[in-house]
Amino acid sequence: MSPAWTSLMSVANVVRCRRFIGRIAADSLKSYRNYTTRLKPRTTVVASPLTSSLNVAKHSIITQDVTRCNIVNLRQFSTDGSISNVLTEEKEDIDPFSLVQDDLNHLCSNIKQELRTDVGCLFDISSYHFDGMGKFFRPMVVLLMAKACNIHVAYNVLDDSGSKGSIPLSSSQKVIAMLAEMIHTASLIHDDVIDKAEMRRGKPTVQKLWGQTRAVLTGNYILAVASIALARIRNEEVVTVLTQILEDLIEGEFMQLGSKEQENERFSHYLKKTYKKTASLVANTCKAVAIISQCSENVIEIAFEYGKHIGIAFQLIDDLLDFISNEIVLGKPASADLKLGLATAPVLFAAHQYSEINPMIMRRFSQPGDIQRTLELVAKSDGVSSTLFLAKEHCKEAVKNISQLAASRERQALINISHRVIDRLK
C-alpha cells in the first residue's frame, strides 16, 4: 500500500473515530436524561443536547512502554491548532475544600461516633478506612451543593452587594454528607471482596487483613448504621432518594458482572453501569440536600443533574487513570480493570478502531496475552484521549446546570470542581 493511501486511510479512521465519540457523547447524555426522567417524573430542566459531530481534535503522546501505558502529554486542540477551552475558566481562585473544611474536619470523628459498638472488633474494622486519608470528594460536593442551594433559596432576602456570603448548613444536610462517605466506603469494602483486592488507599484492604466474611459483614454494618442515621432525618422524600442509591449500587454491580454481545450496546451498558455504581450516589445526595433546603422542583433537578454529570466524569477519569497512572500514585494496582475482565471507556473506544479487541472483551481478557495486547492497542488508539474528551463533555453539562443557581462562592467552587475532576492524578 502506498504511503499516500496509508495516510488517507489514517485520516479516514480519525474522522470515523471523531464521529463515533460525538455519537457516544450525545447518546450518553440522552440516555441518562431518559433514564432519570423515568425515575423522576418531576424533571423540568433539560440541558441543550450535544452536537453529534465534534469540531475538536484530540492529541495524545503516549510512550511506547505499553506495559505501563504512560501518557507523557495530553492536550486538546481545536481544528485550527489552537488550544481549545472546553470548560469555562475558573473566574475566582476558590479552593472548594476550604469552604467546607471545618465540616469535613469533623466528618471522620462523626462517622466513628455513629459506628461505636461493643461487639468484638467490629468498631476497629468498620472505622478502619475512616482515617482522614480519603479524598472526601463526595461529601465535599454535597456540602457545597447544600450551601449553594441554601443561598439560592434565600437570594431575595440577601443584600445585592454581589457577595452573598454563606448560609449555615442544617444538621440534616451535614448528615447527608456523612452518609455519602459511609455508603461509598461500604461499597468499596464490598468491591474489594468481589475483586479480591489487596490494596486500597495505599494500605491493605479490610478483606486482606480480616478476611472476606468479616469484610462483607463490616460493609453491611456500615450501611445499616447509615440507614439508622438516615431515618433520624424524618423526611420521607429524602429517605426515598437515598435508598435509590443502594438499589443502583447493587444493580450496577450485577451489570458489571456481564458484558453485551452486541458491540453497539456495550458503551450504553458501560455508561448506565457507571451511573448506577458511581454517579447515582453523587446525584442523589445532591438532590437530597436540595430537598432539605426546600428548593423548587427546578432547582432540585439542577442539583441532581450536576451530581450526575460530575459523577460520570469522575468515573471516566478514574477509568482513564487505570491506564496511565501507577500503583504508587493510585494507592491501588494499576491496570486493575483489565485484570478483573472489565472493559472500560478507553478499551471500548479503542475497540472501535481495533476490532480484535472485541473477542477479548467477550472472554473478559482471560487468555494468555489478552491484557498485554489490549494495553498495546489502547496505547496505539485514541481510547485515552477520547475518554478524556467525553469526561469534559459531562463536566460541561455539570457547569451548565449549576450556573443556573444564584451567584455565590459555593456555586463557583462547584464549577471549579469540574476542572479538578479532569486534572486529578489519582
Residue with C-alpha cell 498485554?
372
Gap between the Cα atoms of 337 and 241, Å rounded: 30
Nearest to 49 by CA among 25, 76, 84, 78: 25
Q: Which residues contact 405 (CB under 8 A, 6 or more apart)?
A: 148, 149, 151, 152, 299, 302, 411
E strand or H helix that includes residue 61 = strand 56-62
Do residues 41 and 60 make contact, with C-beta atoms less than 8 angstroms apart?
no
Nearest to 271 by CA among 11, 4, 23, 17: 23
Nearest to 271 by CA among 292, 284, 256: 256
- Tell me the per-residue pLDDT of 236-271, one tens digit each, with 9 for 90 and over: 999 999 999 999 999 999 999 887 777 778 999 999
Residue with C-alpha cell 474522522?
15
Mean pLDDT of the chain: 80
Do residues 50 and 22 make contact, with C-beta atoms less than 8 angstroms apart?
yes
Residue 404 burial (10 A CB sphere; 0-12, 13-18, 19+)? middle
E strand or H helix that includes residue 73 = strand 71-78
Measuring CA to CA, how many Å separate 96 from each of 139, 178, 343, 367, 422?
11, 17, 32, 45, 15
Nearest to 323 by CA among 301, 343, 300: 343
Residue 271 has what pLDDT? 96
What length does the chain have? Answer: 426
- Grid coordinates standing for 142? 454535597
pLDDT band at 4 (very low <50, low <70, confident <90, very high): very low
- Grid coordinates standing for 290? 436540595
- Grid coordinates standing for 128? 478502619
Instruction: Write the DSSP symbol of residue 377.
Output: H
Beta bridge partners of 77: 57, 83
- Tell me the per-residue pLDDT of 23-39, one tens digit each, with 9 for 90 and over: 555 555 555 455 444 44
- The full DSSP string for 178-242 is HHHHHHHHHHHHHHHHHHT--EETTEE-HHHHH-HHHHHHHHHHHHHHHHHHHHTT--HHHHHHH
Do residues 151 and 158 make contact, with C-beta atoms less than 8 angstroms apart?
yes
Angle at 391 (CA atoms; ends 409, 326), nearest 5 degrees: 100
Q: How many CB atoms lie within 10 A of CB 336?
A: 15
Model confidence at 53: pLDDT above 60: no
pLDDT band at 135 (very low <50, low <70, confident <90, very high): confident
Whole-structure pTM value: 0.80
Gap between the Cα atoms of 388 and 382, Å rounded: 10
- Tell me the per-residue pLDDT of 350-380, one tens digit each, with 9 for 90 and over: 999 999 999 999 999 999 999 999 999 999 9
- Tell me the per-residue pLDDT of 64-98, one tens digit each, with 9 for 90 and over: 233 333 332 333 322 233 223 435 454 567 999 99
